[in-house]
């Protein structure tokens, strides 16, 4: 059996190459796993874009099939955890970095990495959500569990036009929070308002160095940007508020002071989606399946083929995309 997959290769003579290739089942089963999945859809996340363009050392083993997200049907499961035909979701666990991922028609994975597809989501909808949306749900749950209520004040979402931001806005709005969206794409304000944002601000106002303490504006923050944006968000968070940090689109540095944390009691909460526990994953996906409606997902998602992934990745790195890109691996 052979099938199509995007293969990333790096050789001393040819350098980095990303191409659509025919891959054998034997090559796939050389990966460490116990569950063979026939993939229906994958998606393109920022980490995938870095791998597809080789803009950052995301890939740790060569050759590599990228794709940190996938949804599909179980073909066989040696552990017995899943039955043939069950629909499952993969997010993270080093896929696309140290283990072949899901920008492929088949994937060979560990059953411990998988969760069942919620009954009220289609496979396509699950990949509109993907790791970006699942990460957003983890951030929102962190804010809710911290005790921030809608009446406590405005919630800021940075990187609002991206996948994490788009889903975070939708979830927060459905839960009754007032959301301010920060974006570099001010012409996309209508898109963000349709998702539930009540205010849209230019992200440039957060991107430069600011004062250690600034006017208190946010009861909570979902930040996918990092660097000065995260530092300013912390400096603007209300007394006792929380900043859920999950990304580094602007940079992985944090040019901040301790002032917001020791003078206002602000909590900076790191949110990891790659190695989150099974229970956290299931809880986040249940929140997503219950609170995101089909029309919102339709507004966020666009469908591309395996052949189009590199072009989308380049546009994503250049900051020229909005929403989520779902990959139909069978086209």
How confident is the model over 125-145, as pLDDT tens digits? Answer: 999 999 989 999 999 999 999
pTM summary value:
0.90
Q: Which residue has the tokens 């990891």?
A: 272
Same domain? 150 vs 255: yes
Domain of residue 138, CATH code: 3.40.50.720
- Mean pLDDT taken over the chain: 95
In terms of residue numbers, what domain contains 238? 130-270
> Above 90 in pLDDT, residue 203?
yes
The predicted structure's pLDDT at residue 48 = 95
The answer to whether 23 touches 3, Cβ cutoff 8 Å, is: yes
Q: How many CB atoms lie within 10 A of CB 209?
A: 10
Confidence category of residue 195, pLDDT binned at 50, 70, 90: very high
- Tell me the CATH number at 12: 3.90.180.10
- Check residue 302 and give its pLDDT: 92
What's the CA gap between 140 and 59, in Å, rounded? 29
Sole residue written with tokens 């957003």: 136
Torsion of CA 88, 90, 91, 93, to 10 degrees: 140
- Residue 252: how many CB atoms within 10 A of its CB? 10
In this structure, the answer to whether residues 110 and 145 fall within a common structural domain is no
Predicted pLDDT at 20: 95
* Total of domains in the chain: 2
Q: Is the pLDDT at 88 greater than 90, yes or no?
A: yes
Q: If pLDDT is split at 50, 70 and 90, which confidence band does 322 have? A: confident
215-249 pLDDT, tens digit per residue, is 999 999 999 999 999 999 999 999 999 999 999 98
pLDDT grade, residue 209 (50/70/90)?
A: very high
Same-domain check for residues 261 and 137: yes
Say yes or no to pLDDT of 14 above 80: no
Whether residue 299 has pLDDT greater than 90 = no
Tokens standing for residue 11: 């050789």
Task: State whether residue 194 is helix, strand or coil.
Answer: helix
* Cα distance between residue 58 and residue 96, in whole Å: 8
Per-residue tokens: 190: 């209508």
Buried b / exposed e over 265-276, threshold 16 CB at 10 Å, is ebbbbebebeeb
Peptide bond into 63 cis (omega under 30): yes
C-alpha span between 134 and 271 (Å, rounded): 11
Give kind and range of the element (H or E) at residue 43. Answer: strand 35-44
- Shared-domain flag, residues 36 and 106: yes
pLDDT surpassing 80 at residue 199: yes
Query: What's the rounded Cα separation, in Å, for the pair 253 and 268?
Result: 14
């Amino acid at each position: 059996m052979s099938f199509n997959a995007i293969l990333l290769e790096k050789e001393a003579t040819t350098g980095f190459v990303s191409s659509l290739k025919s891959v054998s089942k034997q090559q796939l089963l050389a990966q460490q796993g116990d569950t063979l999945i026939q993939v229906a859809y994958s998606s393109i996340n920022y980490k995938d874009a870095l791998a597809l363009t080789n803009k950052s050392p995301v890939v740790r083993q060569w050759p590599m099939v990228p794709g940190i997200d996938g949804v599909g049907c179980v073909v066989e499961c040696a552990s017995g955890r899943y039955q043939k035909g069950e629909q499952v979701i993969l997010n993270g666990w080093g896929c696309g970095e140290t283990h072949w991922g899901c920008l492929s028609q088949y994937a060979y994975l560990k059953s411990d990495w998988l969760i069942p597809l919620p009954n009220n989501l289609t496979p396509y909808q699950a990949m509109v959500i993907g790791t970006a949306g699942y990460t957003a749900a983890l951030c929102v749950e962190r804010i809710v569990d911290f005790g921030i209520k809608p009446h406590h004040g405005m919630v800021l979402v940075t990187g609002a036009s991206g996948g994490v931001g788009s889903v975070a806005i939708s979830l927060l709005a459905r839960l009754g929070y007032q959301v301010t969206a920060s974006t570099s794409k001010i012409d996309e304000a209508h898109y963000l308002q349709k998702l539930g944002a009540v205010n849209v601000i230019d992200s440039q106002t957060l991107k430069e160095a600011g004062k250690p303490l600034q006017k208190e504006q946010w009861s909570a923050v979902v930040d996918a940007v990092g660097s000065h944006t995260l530092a300013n968000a912390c400096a603007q968070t209300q007394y006792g508020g929380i900043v859920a940090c999950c990304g580094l689109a602007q940079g992985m540095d944090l040019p901040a002071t301790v002032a917001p944390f020791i003078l206002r009691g602000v909590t900076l909460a790191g949110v990891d989606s790659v190695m989150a526990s099974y229970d956290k994953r299931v809880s986040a996906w249940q929140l997503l399946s219950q609170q995101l409606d089909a029309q919102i997902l339709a507004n966020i998602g666009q469908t591309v083929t395996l052949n189009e992934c590199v072009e989308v990745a380049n546009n994503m790195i250049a900051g020229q995309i909005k929403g989520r890109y779902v990959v139909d691996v069978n086209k």
